[in-house]
Amino acid sequence: MSAMLRVKAVSGRAVTDYIGDVARLRMAVFREFPYLYDGSSEYEKQYLQTYIDCDQSVVVLALDGAHVVGASTAIPMAFETEEIQQPLLAAGYDLDKVFYCAESVLLPQYRGKGLGWRFFDEREAHAARLGGFAVSCFCAVERPADHPLRPAGYKTLESLWHKRGYRQQALRAHFLWKDIDQPGETDKAMVYWMKRLDS
């Protein structure tokens, strides 16, 4: 890692200082496959307000000097949206015992330097400090293997997730967003990956 590259975690109101940077990162990185997300800064700032309003949230920032080059978010599931909560409730999970690792975004030139692993370290450590969580989970979009915008040689992050102890579940949430190659919003299935924290 570069001597100028560092990781910093912020929570609640402290997220405010970085909301513009994280919004720009999300829009840039999520335009890539597999999300292909055609986002707006207005929506992003509204979405990130949840992390400002919740003092138990965490946003882990990767900084190169003063520049935010990556970010990873997490929050207790009890503070998440109904779309994310409902599949877990239907499966009998106690939301108060679920910690949600929402997403990680990192500029391409900073990948492969161990930051993805560090993002999990920091988020799971935050969950441990809060205490009381039985599981950690996140959701990943499902795309067909023959998707026309799938890059040649594309590799998923599943090997990293498995090494961190996460396993794919038979649970899915559904979201609407506009793909970069579509005229309007379409439904996306998001599959849950889960890891026990109390074993």
pLDDT (0 to 100) of residue 55? 97
d(CA 127, CA 110): 25
The CATH code of the domain that includes 79 is: 3.40.630.30
Q: CA-to-CA distance for 107 and 183, rounded, in angstroms? A: 26
The pLDDT of residue 198 is 81
Q: Identify the domain containing residue 68 by its residue range.
A: 5-196
Separation in Å, CA 131 to CA 97, 125, 136: 9, 10, 12
Strand partners, 10: 59
Q: Mind listing the pLDDT tens digit of every residue in the chain (199 residues)? A: 556 899 999 999 999 999 999 999 999 999 999 999 998 888 998 999 999 999 999 999 999 999 999 999 999 999 999 999 999 999 999 999 999 999 999 999 999 999 999 999 999 999 999 999 999 999 999 999 999 999 999 999 999 999 999 999 999 999 999 999 999 999 999 999 999 998 6
Number of domains forming the structure of the chain: 1
Q: pTM for the complete prediction?
A: 0.94
Distance linking the first and last C-alpha atoms of the chain: 32
- Give residue-wise pLDDT tens across range 84-132: 999 999 999 999 999 999 999 999 999 999 999 999 999 999 999 999 9
In the prediction, which pLDDT does 41 show? 87
